């Protein structure tokens, strides 16, 4: 068994990247069943997402390999903006390792490679998203100094309407006659 290596992703990695994107989605769904679940149409759209990764002029897609076989990947992207500061932000869009290869330092190495790329692009801040409930991701990113600054929340329209009716009824009951 050879030491794992990291290289830039190629068009020939497309099928493996599709499988990895789907595995990451499934992992997210199992970590938090409230996240959006991928549909058959969404699965078909993974090709376009992977093509975007591979052709992104402002991004870098990496593949981690062991014995010549993919074990994970990462995608980072640089965004330039003038409407908010910092102006140049590096986004870690995706990072995924097959389960058998986690907790062995390869995730750290993938992030290090993305950081090298971000340095060449004058990135001022690094940003990312992860699924709440994905304990592996929560711990990994916290250890690397990432602090949650935004929250995303969801509910069904049916539940929201019911709660709004209940709230309105309570407020109406409190109004003086």
- Cα–Cα nearest to 30, from 148, 135, 153, 149: 135
Average pLDDT over residues 80-92: 96
Query: Model confidence at 9, in pLDDT bands (50, 70, 90)?
Result: very high
CATH number, position 99: 3.40.630.30
Give the residue numbers spanning the domain of 41: 5-174
**In the predicted structure, residue 177 carries a pLDDT above the cut 70:** no
CA–CA separation, 114 and 120 (whole Å)? 10
Q: Report strand pairing: 88-97 vs 125-128.
A: parallel
Closest to 4 measured CA to CA, from 132, 102, 95, 89: 102
Tokens encoding 17: 């990247």
What share of the chain has pLDDT > 70, as a percent? 99
Burial class (CB in 10 A: 0-12, 13-18, 19+), 62: buried
Please tell me the distance from the alpha carbon of residue 64 to that of residue 102, in angstroms, as a whole number.
12
Cis upstream peptide for 170 (omega within 30°): no
E strands, 31-165, are 59-66, 69-80, 88-97, 125-128
* Total count of domains within the chain: 1
Percent composition of the chain: helix, strand, coil (DSSP 3-state, to 5): 45, 20, 30
- pLDDT of 7 > 80? The answer is yes
Instruction: Tell me what the pLDDT averaged over the chain comes to.
Output: 93
- Alpha-carbon distance of 147 to 6, in angstroms, equals 27
Least confident interval from 68-72, 118-122, 123-127: 68-72
* pLDDT single digits (tens) 153-170: 889 899 999 999 999 999
């Amino acid at each position: 068994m050879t030491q794992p290596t990291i290289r830039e992703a190629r068009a020939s990695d497309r099928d493996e990247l599709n499988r990895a994107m789907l595995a990451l989605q499934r992992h997210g769904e199992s970590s938090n069943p409230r996240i959006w679940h991928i549909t058959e149409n969404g699965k078909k759209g993974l090709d376009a997402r992977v093509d975007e990764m591979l052709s992104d002029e402002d991004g870098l897609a990496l593949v981690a390999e062991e014995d010549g076989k993919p074990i994970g990947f990462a995608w980072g992207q640089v965004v330039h903006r003038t409407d908010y500061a910092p102006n140049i932000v590096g986004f870690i869009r995706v990072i995924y390792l097959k389960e058998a290869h986690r907790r062995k330092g390869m995730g750290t190495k993938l992030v290090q490679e993305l950081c090298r790329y971000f340095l060449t692009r004058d990135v001022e801040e690094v940003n990312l998203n992860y699924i709440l409930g994905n304990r592996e991701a929560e711990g990994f990113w916290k250890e690397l100094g990432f602090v949650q600054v935004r929250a995303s929340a969801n509910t069904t329209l049916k539940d929201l309407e019911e709660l709004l009716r209940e709230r309105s009824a309570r407020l109406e009951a409190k109004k003086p006659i």
